Structures are given as C-alpha cells and as structure tokens.
C-alpha cells in the first residue's frame, strides 16, 4: 500500500464531523505523567479526527528514542511513516474491522467500556524495527457515538520476536473484568486450536495467576465451568499442564 494513501484511508475509517474538547482529559494525563517511572511503555492521547497526538508521555523517547516535540508537531502520519511496510495493509484492515464491529455489535451504552488492542512493527530512532502493542481506550465520541479520542497505551517488545498483526476488542463487565468480544489474526497455534473468546479470557487470567474460583467470579461463570474450559484448552493446544500453557503464552500476554 502507498504510504501517502494511509491518511485518507485512516480518516475514512474514523470519519466524523465533531470537534470535542480535550482540555480536562489532557490536563489530567500531564499531571499523571509526572509521577510515572520510565519503563518499556508509554502512552498518548490520540485524535483520530484530526490525526494528531494531543499528548505524548515522556516515556516515548526512552522507549523509541524519537523526539517527542517533533512527533507531536508532525502528527500521526509521521508516526505511520515509520511502520514496517509489510504491516500496513493488515493494520488498516484490523482497524476497519474493529470500527465496524463496534458500530454494529456494541450498544451505545457499552462503547465507553470498550478497550481495543492491535500490534505492528515500528522503526525506532536507531533505525531498528521493534514490536509495538497498542491498547486504546475511548475517551470521547462523536454525535454518532463513534470513538474519536483515545488513550493509547504502547508496550515495546524486541524486534526479533515474530508477531502477527492481530486485533481484539474487550468489554469491561459488571465485575470490572475485561471480556473478549472480538478477536482476529492470532498466532497460528491458537488459531489452529480453535480457541474461543471465552477461553482466551480464561488463559489471560491464568497468566495473571488467578484461581478457577477467582476467574469464575470475574467472568460470571462457575468454577466448574472454568475447569472444563481449562481442560478443553489443554486438549486443543495438545499440551499437558496449565504451567506449560502459561509458559507458552507469557510472551504474548498482551495479545490475549
């Protein structure tokens, strides 16, 4: 795909006609950023209407080596120009599918409780590609309840890790636990095993060392049902223990 077409394609996906105010949101994020330690993660406030970064946390430079002021001034298009060319089309397809899913399957009242995750490779200041996992939570919506302002959290992983471009959508339930409601393009092993969205949620909570009882409470199901899912997961993936499962998935925990 021609890089110069990305802007038009992206704007079509997130097309809106409103102009929301971000002043209070950004003030709070700047306040929070002062106290955050340096790490392999950073966050931005993204504006999919104007294709700008409304805010970029200080960790971005520590993670990628890029100039924060330059990135903010030049906006998303400059950021996309650093994306691996082999990931562009899949990335745009993933965003389009997430948007269509949200508008057709998620009720207006639940859109504020959604979180979206996708990944791609990006060139850092050393001209080396690293893996970026982006999780975006909507902050503001247009008049059609389409998310246009988001808090984007980025995790940077080594470039030598082979990761397929994938996309997921999670809904924060009444117990304040995320439940996967959409998933596509996961690793070959999980796709081949036919892992369901419910099983992905159980795997994610197992990685966090949750017991069957705790998982059941979080997902509004019985512990016996959780144990049944656990047995099915092991069978589908042809592995013998939960410990082996957790070891296999820890490097991909952000994709679950």
Fold of 186-256: Arc Repressor Mutant, subunit A (1.10.10)
| CA–CA dist 201, 203 (Å, integer) | 5
Q: Is 186-256 in the same CATH topology as 3-185? A: no
Task: Look at residues 134, 168, 150, 155 and name the one whose alpha carbon lies nearest to residue 50.
Answer: 150
| CA–CA dist 21, 186 (Å, integer) | 36
Predicted TM-score (pTM) of this structure: 0.75
Q: Which CATH class is domain 3-185?
A: alpha beta
Beta bridge partners of 52: 47
Give me the pLDDT at residue 192, please.
Answer: 46
| pLDDT per residue of the chain (256 residues) written in tens, 0 to 9 | 555 567 777 777 777 766 666 666 667 667 667 666 677 899 999 998 888 999 999 899 999 999 999 999 999 989 999 999 988 888 888 888 898 899 899 998 899 889 999 999 999 999 999 999 999 999 888 887 888 899 999 999 999 988 888 889 999 898 888 899 998 863 444 444 577 888 888 888 887 788 999 999 999 999 999 999 888 888 887 777 777 777 666 555 444 5
CA separation, residue 106 to residues 43, 98, 192, 201, 203 (Å): 25, 11, 27, 18, 24
Task: Decide: 131 and 158 in contact? Cβ < 8 Å.
Answer: yes
Give me the pLDDT at residue 185, please.
Answer: 64
Domain edges within the chain: 3-185, 186-256
Beta bridge partners of 53: 46
């Amino acid at each position: 795909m021609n890089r110069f077409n990305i802007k038009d394609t992206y704007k079509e996906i997130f097309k809106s006609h409103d102009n929301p105010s971000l002043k209070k949101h950004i003030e709070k994020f700047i306040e929070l950023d002062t106290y955050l330690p340096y790490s392999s993660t950073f966050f931005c406030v993204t504006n999919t209407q104007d294709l700008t970064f409304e805010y970029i946390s200080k960790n971005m430079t520590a993670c990628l080596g890029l100039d924060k002021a330059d990135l903010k001034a030049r906006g998303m298009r400059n950021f996309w120009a650093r994306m691996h060319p082999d990931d562009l089309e899949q990335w745009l397809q993933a965003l389009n599918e997430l948007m269509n899913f949200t508008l057709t399957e998620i009720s207006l009242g639940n859109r504020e409780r959604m979180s979206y995750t996708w990944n791609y490779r990006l060139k850092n200041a050393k001209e080396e590609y690293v893996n970026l996992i982006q999780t975006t939570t909507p902050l503001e919506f247009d008049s059609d309840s389409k998310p246009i302002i988001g808090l984007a959290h980025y995790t940077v992983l080594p470039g030598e890790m082979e990761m397929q471009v994938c996309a997921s959508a999670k809904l924060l339930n009444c117990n304040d636990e995320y439940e996967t409601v959409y998933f596509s393009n996961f690793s070959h092993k999980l796709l081949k095993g036919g892992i369901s969205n419910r099983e992905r949620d159980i795997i994610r909570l197992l990685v966090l060392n949750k017991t069957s009882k705790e998982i059941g409470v979080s997902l509004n199901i019985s512990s016996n049902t959780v144990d049944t899912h656990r047995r099915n997961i092991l069978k589908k993936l042809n592995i013998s223990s939960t410990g082996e499962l957790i070891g296999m998935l820890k490097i991909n925990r952000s994709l679950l």
